[in-house]
Amino acid sequence: MKACGSLEGALAGLHVVIDAGPTYEDIDPVRFLGNRSSGKMGFAVADAAAQAGADVTLIAGPVHLPTPPGIERRVDVRSALQMRDAVMRAVEGADIFIAAAAVADWRVADYSARKIKKGPTGTPVLELVENPDILAEVAARDPRPFVVGFAAETDHVAEHAREKLVRKKLDLLAANRVDETVGIGADDNALDLIWPGGGESLPHTSKAELAKALVARIAAHYHARRHA
Residues contacting 112, CB < 8 A, separation 6+: 27, 28
Distance, in Å, from the CA atom of 180 to the CA atom of 159, rounded to the nearest integer, reads 21
Q: Report the alpha-carbon distance of residue 96 to residue 146 in Å, rounded.
A: 5
Catalytic residue among 35, 131, 176, 189: 35
Catalytic residue list contains 35: yes
* DSSP secondary structure letter of residue 171: S
Distance CA 197, CA 77 (A): 35
Residues making up the chain, counted from first to last: 228
Q: Which residues are catalytic?
A: 35
